[in-house]
Structure 1
Amino acid sequence: MGEDLVVTRTLVVPAAELSERFSRSSGPGGQGVNTADSRVELSFDLASSPAVPEHLRNRMLARLDNRLVDGVLTIAASEFRTQLKNRQAARERLVRLLRDAAAPPPPKRRPTKPTKGSQERRIAEKKRRAQTKQGRTGRWD
């Protein structure tokens, strides 16, 4: 499991910069849940990592601000019974988070006005709907 994480073509997190902690899980495990350390906490120091390019670091720190503690991103995985599967799940989750945080911002939307035809269709549909509802007024004379 000591292999580098490939996040994007330009961002590869070395295995040496990841730290793992193991503890007892509260999840599935049967009788072994109280003896096996299957819960995994994977930590990555995003703020001081030399593997992260500077232009990506600022973007990622801003996007992951609510998940960071002193610049360190921590992922916990305890949904599986085995430590190995939880380690894989934590790594996959970390890659997904970092990839989403490193993605370029979407292009700015240029505001446009609705077309004349779309305005007319909207008004015509409103009038049809009003007539339908007008027939529902329960006037009993």
Structure 2
Amino acid sequence: MIRVTARIALDESEITEDFLRASGPGGQNVNKLETAVQLRFAAMASVNLPDAVKARLATLAGRRMTKDGVLVITAQRHRTRERNREDALERLLVLIREAATPPPPPRKATKPTLGSKKRRLESKTRRGETKRMRGAPGRDE
């Protein structure tokens, strides 16, 4: 079991890894070794994630989530397979932790105070007076 939060732990059998050739520079090494990791996690089928976390995870994942509810993370930043595996797993855990945090409470709408209304109107009056003074002389209204 992989511990994500105090309440959420993932079963290692839910995560599958595929190795593929990384793109970009790397010399001859990049052409013959499969160091990039494509990590797949069936998030919507997971019994270890609450429904609310699944919904937020789908929103956070965006294009990384397939139509079947499988989260796909590709890691190819590092030159070695092991570091890419660690990177992909860490990115998955960060994403799930972010989805596990509850959303902030909705903002309650409040009315502006009387003082703030007066300050706003006074500043509008001052600004209008400044602009009126910029007009041609002798044109008082």
> Under a length normalisation based on structure 2, what TM-score does the superposition of the two structures give?
0.80
**CA drift at 1:81:** 1.9
- In structure 2, stretches of 5+ residues that fail to align are none
What does residue range 65-104 of structure 1 map to in structure 2 within 5 Å? 66=62, 67-69=64-66, 70-104=68-102
Give, in whole Å, the separation in 2 of the partners of 1:98 and 1:122: 45
Give, in whole Å, the separation in 2 of the partners of 1:82 and 1:132: 67
Give, in whole Å, the separation in 2 of the partners of 1:31 and 1:81: 12
The corresponding residue for 2:36 is 39
Give, in whole Å, the separation in 2 of the partners of 1:75 and 1:25: 14
Pair member with larger Rg: 2
Cα RMSD of the aligned pairs, angstroms, is 2.2
Identity rate, percent:
44
Worse-superposed segment, 90-99 or 78-87: 78-87
- In structure 1, stretches of 5+ residues that fail to align are none
Give, in whole Å, the separation in 2 of the partners of 1:140 and 1:83: 78
1:60 aligns to 2:50 (yes or no):
no
Equivalent in 5, 19, 22 of residue 19 of structure 2: 22
The corresponding residue for 1:119 is 117
Paired positions, count: 133
The corresponding residue for 2:6 is 9
> Under a length normalisation based on structure 1, what TM-score does the superposition of the two structures give?
0.80
